[in-house]
Structure 1
Amino acid sequence: MGLINGTCYECSCSNNANPISGLLDFICSPIVCNATCQKGFEYETVSGQCCGKCVQKKCIFTASDNTVKDIEVGRTSRDVVGDAETRSCVDYMCKNLNGQFVVQEVRTVCPAFNPSNCEDGTERTDAGGCCKTCTPKSFCNLISEEVEVIKGDCKTKFNQTSCVGGCASYSKYSAREKRMDHKCECCRENQVVLERLALTCEDGSKIYQDHQVVKSCQCTGGRCIEWETGGTTR
């Protein structure tokens, strides 16, 4: 093996003598180096040798879709899994630890997200750039549950109504006013009536007791009270 005009050759003597000179021929053939490297590796020449070698330069990992990917040291690659309602992200970070290429995985599982529960035009990605979020729609619903009213040996059952829901509230900095701006709403009764309940006693007699019954609910604004720490409450 030798280097001739920048090209490596592998030389050997032939088995048959040259018919003219009577000497064995010296046959040389160029050496073809395989410079094709797998993903994440690069071909580098080696001083004093005809052929170089493949040297790892990037981290290699298998993504969730079973594809093999590479990533440079210090860089991060994101793999998004699932749809908007069941979204999760895997961040792959490449590190070189004493010559060893290591892939660190950080998985983010997003909370359930339903665009139909959002105020129009408020959908956005959170600060981490993975999960979807929005300003939820306000809702305030009237619900009822059967309860038993007891007074002494007299009792009755009736449907007690109440208000349940999530109403618009926020706390954000106003650059225009140079202060925190707050909005506080809560789900509360809108219409209440007084109903008289008849409680049946063990001897068959009846007594009567008045109860307030919620007939309708709505989101109602209120004044946000400042905490000493700068937070707010209602």
Structure 2
Amino acid sequence: MESIKKCPEFNPEDCEPGTLQFDSDGCCQICKSRNCVLEKNVTRLRVDDCTSIEDVEVTSCTGHCDTKSMYSMKTKAMIHSCSCCKEENVNHQNVTLKCADNSEIVRDYVHIKSCKCTSTECVDQKTSG
């Protein structure tokens, strides 16, 4: 008897770089998911004609969190469950910027220390027409 395996929905963009592989029977692609991770970039910050004197670590939260819709027999309605990838812990940091006229200014920015999936309200998209 022959069985046909159906692979789960798969999007390589949801994978951590370098973790793409095939499952144990070589049938479906799998990877380590990028669920809501802290991403770091090092860059020079710019505000108008001013640029940071040193490179600054800029952080962001990226990845996917669970979202689902299902019908409830009890309430006879659709139940929506949504969460989004948001900052969990942050702190404010100062950066000194040098301007085109050689003056210096200090600005503060939010530096994300950690991220997590956070429940949010699912908004129904109503189309007019």
Q: Same fold (TM over 0.5)?
A: yes
Deviation at 1:83, TM superposition (A): 2.9
Give 1 or 2: higher strand fraction: 1
Deviation at 1:153, TM superposition (A): 5.0
CA distance in 2, matches of 1:166, 1:79: 29
Q: Look at both structures and tell me which one has the larger radius of gyration over its CA atoms.
A: 1
Higher relative contact order (CA 8 A, sep 6+): 2
Structure 2 CA distance for partners of 1:160 and 1:227, relative to 1, 3 Å: same
1:194 paired residue among 92, 107, 129: 92
- TM-score (normalizing by structure 1): 0.38
Question: Is the 1:193–1:213 contact (alpha carbons within 8 Å) kept by the matching residues of 2?
Answer: yes
Residue ranges of structure 2 left out of the alignment (5+ in a row) = 6-24
1:145 paired residue among 36, 41, 60: 41
Aligned residues: 105
2:105 paired residue among 198, 204, 207: 207
Structure 2 CA distance for partners of 1:202 and 1:170, relative to 1, 3 Å: same
Where in structure 2 are the equivalents of 1:54-73 lying within 5 Å? none
**Paired residue type of 1:84:** C
Structure 2 CA distance for partners of 1:159 and 1:174, relative to 1, 3 Å: same
1:172 paired residue among 54, 70, 94: 70
User: Is the counterpart of residue 84 in structure 1 residue 27 in structure 2?
Assistant: yes
CA distance in 1, matches of 2:103, 2:124: 53
Deviation at 1:209, TM superposition (A): 1.0
Question: Is the 1:138–1:219 contact (alpha carbons within 8 Å) kept by the matching residues of 2?
Answer: no
Residue ranges of structure 1 left out of the alignment (5+ in a row) = 1-76, 86-111, 118-136, 230-234
Residue matched to 2:50: 154
**Identity, % of aligned positions:** 31
SS of residue in 2 equivalent to 1:139: coil
